[in-house]
Amino acid sequence: MEEPTIAQRKPYVLEIEPGTYAWCACGQSKNQPYCDGSHRVTSFRPIVIKIETKQKVAWCGCKHSQKAPFCDGTHAKLG
């Protein structure tokens, strides 16, 4: 099974506005944590999520979270 590229070993903590966001699941986007279409050469697809209110979000940076697209601390357990 194909593994995602680890973009970074910590979350991307950002204050974001309401809107629709496409989180990069493959780890290859040059626009982390968001999708830029780099997944086209992989089996991965972005996770699209709608944010209703302005808020601080911890997007997963390691791409291994069980709560994707959000960080669940998995990055601390990766070798």
Asked whether residue 7 is domain-assigned, the answer is: no
Domain of 44, in residue numbers = 12-77
Closest CA to 10 of 37, 43, 36, 32: 32
pLDDT at 10: 98
Tokens 């699209």 appear where? 48
Asked whether residue 5 is domain-assigned, the answer is: no
Asked whether residue 4 is domain-assigned, the answer is: no
Q: How far is CA 22 from CA 34, 58, 64, 78, in A?
A: 6, 14, 16, 24
Burial of 79 (0-12, 13-18, 19+ CB in 10 A): exposed
pLDDT at 11: 98
Asked whether residue 2 is domain-assigned, the answer is: no
Asked whether residue 46 is domain-assigned, the answer is: yes
- Count of domains forming the chain: 1
Asked whether residue 60 is domain-assigned, the answer is: yes
pLDDT at 1: 74
Asked whether residue 6 is domain-assigned, the answer is: no
Structure tokens at 1: 């099974």
Asked whether residue 40 is domain-assigned, the answer is: yes
What confidence tens digit (pLDDT) does each residue in 1-59 have?
Answer: 799 999 999 999 999 999 999 999 999 999 999 999 999 989 999 999 999 999 999 99
